[in-house]
Amino acid sequence: MHQFTIAELTQGLRRKDFSSTELTQHYLDRIARLDNTYNSYITVTPELALAQAAAADKRLAAGDAPALCGIPIAHKDIFCTTGVRTSCASKMLDNFIAPYNATIVENYLAAGVVMLGKTNMDEFAMGSSNETSYYGPVKNPWATDCVPGGSSGGSAAAVAAHLAPGATASDTGGSIRQPAALCGLTGIKPTYGRVSRWGMIAFASSLDQAGTLTRTAEDAALMMNDLASFDPKDSTCVERDVPDYTADLNNPLTGLKIGVPKEYFGEGLNPQTAAHVEAAIKVYEKLGATIHSISLPHTHLAVPAYYVIAPAECSANLSRFDGVRYGYRCENPKDLADLYKRSRAEGFGDEVKRRILVGSYALSAGYYDAYYSKAQKVRRLIKQDFVDAFTQVDVILGPTSPSPAFAFGSKTKDPVAMYLEDIYTIATNLAGLPGLSIPCGMVDNKPVGLQLIGDYFAEARLLNVAHQFQQSTDFHQQTAPGIE
């Protein structure tokens, strides 16, 4: 059963080839047997999952169940889940049991979706390799000596190892798309405001967006139908009708205008990755699309602007973790100041501390105008680049990540090298645009990703463009070696 896509599983459930209970137990058994190798889950919830599966089977038997009813998925451990530990992969929240569900968790519960457990991630979503987790690094199923990407590496590894047919994830600067590229998956980051952030533990509030990791664009469309919703509890959530994201998947691409930014093919891009992206462009030409060279002139400023804005927002958001109200508390504090200092020093990992310090510095009275204010002005220029580009083209195409999965420890001592892994993904978050990554080839037996960027609220178009590529290629059907 684990070889099937979500779309195929929905059909099997309705044909009564298997029940949701049988399907869920199958995945729970796989997790118990195989996840010691990958470390993709932080918490597995077998009793809850089987109870939800039994309820889903009743709805399926009644004949009026929603499309995803009975499908088991995993949630990134950044989303609050009632009565279940929500740790954000940090010692700071190792003992935190969420008292409510995130809105997207509620949406999936209403649809009858089953939760298998909570997946591993970079601590507080800060990282590009899933090496900063308090619970240890996640291993890439394609090469277990290599990283799966971050911060949503646990969700990516779980889906790539067939320990879940799909998973939720979050993307602040590429944290869905980069793991999708490194693990050979389809990962979508919707437009900022398309999906509620209520109940998602904040890293950088103006950048964070929930999305999904699946094996195919069709599966991503199915998951998007329940992921997206207006939520009055989230002031950044846009009140806009949610379309059926599966409706346009099979539309032909004749006349589609694809923009290829020259800035995405310069120094730092692995030549073999570039070759696969160029081959993908030829596939699209055969499908009827026209290719246009475009420029996004402020691309080179995306990483420095992001690493001022994101740490600044993180320093504010993480100030609530002080050892007083919830989360980790140091032992035997001498006074209140000691409680604050030691709880935060002991509860946060090195990368989180680094970003808090950078962010606090950028927001300080003497440096706000010199750094944070200028970074926001650059952000506006980056957004305008995309606005101008979308007057000429329908979709922007390029590599997702500059290279395939890299070895553990190879970039941990050089934070700047690690940050540059997100060089092609960060700009879409700064602009608030939707982005999607799909597999387009292999380099050294490891997947590489093709990134598609759309105009605001053009997720359906992106999914259509991705689906048509997958109908003409088989990269999304390839399975990591050794997967049973």
Q: Is residue 414 very low, low, confident or very high in pLDDT (cuts 50, 70, 90)? A: confident
pLDDT, tens digit, for every residue of 241-290? 999 999 999 999 999 999 999 999 988 999 999 999 999 999 999 999 99
Q: Is 79 exposed, middle or buried (0-12, 13-18, 19+ CB in 10 A)?
A: buried
- pLDDT cut 90: percent of the chain above it: 95
Which secondary structure element, helix H or strand E, spans residue 60, and what is its range?
helix 46-62
Average pLDDT score over residue span 332-336: 96
- pLDDT cut 70: percent of the chain above it: 100
Q: Is the pLDDT of residue 484 over 90?
A: no
CA angle centred on 152, ends 466 and 91, rounded to 5°: 170
What pLDDT score does 64 carry?
86
What pLDDT score does 415 carry?
85
Contact criterion met (CB below 8 Å) for 416 and 193? no
Q: Is residue 180 very low, low, confident or very high in pLDDT (cuts 50, 70, 90)? A: very high
Q: Is the pLDDT of residue 195 over 90?
A: yes
pLDDT, tens digit, for every residue of 112-138? 999 999 999 999 999 999 999 999 999
What pLDDT score does 179 carry?
98
pLDDT, tens digit, for every residue of 360-372? 999 998 899 999 9
Q: Is the pLDDT of residue 413 over 90?
A: no
Average pLDDT score over residue span 155-166: 98
- For 212, residues 6+ apart whose C-beta sits below 8 A from its C-beta are 166, 167, 168, 169, 176, 187, 188, 220, 223, 224, 227
What pLDDT score does 417 carry?
85
Q: Is residue 482 very low, low, confident or very high in pLDDT (cuts 50, 70, 90)? A: confident
**What's the distance, Cα to Cα, between the start and end of the chain in Å?**
11
Contact criterion met (CB below 8 Å) for 430 and 453? no
- Reduce the DSSP state of residue 333 to 3 states and report it: coil
Q: What is the DSSP string of 185-239?
A: -EEEEPPTTSS--TTBPPSSTTT-EEEEEESSHHHHHHHHHHH----TT-TT---
Q: Is the pLDDT of residue 429 over 90?
A: yes
The per-residue pLDDT of the chain, averaged, comes to: 97
Q: Which residues are catalytic?
A: 76, 151, 175
pLDDT, tens digit, for every residue of 63-101? 989 999 999 999 999 999 999 999 999 999 999 999 999
Q: Which domains does the chain have, with CATH numbers?
A: 6-256 (3.90.1300.10)
Q: Is residue 239 very low, low, confident or very high in pLDDT (cuts 50, 70, 90)? A: very high
Q: What is the DSSP string of 112-177?
A: TPEEEEEE--SGGG--SSS---TT-PPPBTTBTTB---SSSHHHHHHHHTTS-SEEEEEESSSTTH
- Per the rule left: phi > 0, alpha: psi between -120 and 50, beta: everything else, 404 is beta
What pLDDT score does 70 carry?
98
* Pair type for strands 72-76 and 257-261: unpaired
Q: Is the pLDDT of residue 420 over 90?
A: no
Q: Is the pLDDT of residue 419 over 90?
A: no
What pLDDT score does 416 carry?
83
What pLDDT score does 172 carry?
97
Q: Is the pLDDT of residue 27 over 90?
A: yes
What pLDDT score does 124 carry?
98
pTM of the model: 0.97
What pLDDT score does 319 carry?
95
